[in-house]
Amino acid sequence: MAAITIQNVEALGKPLGQYSHMTRVKNAAETLYIAGMLAPGDDFDAQCAGVFAQIGKALAAAGAGWANVVQFTTYLVHSQDIPKFMAWRLREFPKLFTDGKYPPNTLLVIDRLVGEQFLIEVQTIAVL
């Protein structure tokens, strides 16, 4: 497995949530790019849980786990869901990233996703 170091840069200040400023990967033999995952659900939390469950399945299919994740890109349809996303990560990320090192995450608010019913999509990069 590649040497993955997730870190914050003191000069940039403290991150605003469950993410880090950067990931450094040394001698990566293989990189896994997971397409943006969507999940059905009646509300934001249900969709968020489903999206991360999908990511977990994709990681497992490649013989990887959460410790292999080096970056997320998150797309939200509604800016008012940002606090919900932050709360979900605050509650759930410590279970996924047990070492407390959270990958960088770029968060974008966009007009819509592929289907009107979807509220969140997350793209993932992992290193094997």
How high is the pLDDT of residue 28?
61
Tell me which amino acid residue 62 is: A
- pLDDT tens track for 14-71: 999 999 999 999 876 799 999 999 999 999 999 999 999 999 999 999 999 999 999 9
Residues 6+ apart with CB under 8 A from 30: 127, 128
* C-alpha dist (Å) from residue 14 to 17, 19, 20, 40, 82: 9, 10, 9, 33, 18
Which domains does the chain carry? 3-127 (3.30.1330.40)
What's the whole-model pTM score?
0.93
How high is the pLDDT of residue 2?
82
Confirm if 49 and 96 have CB atoms less than 8 A apart: no
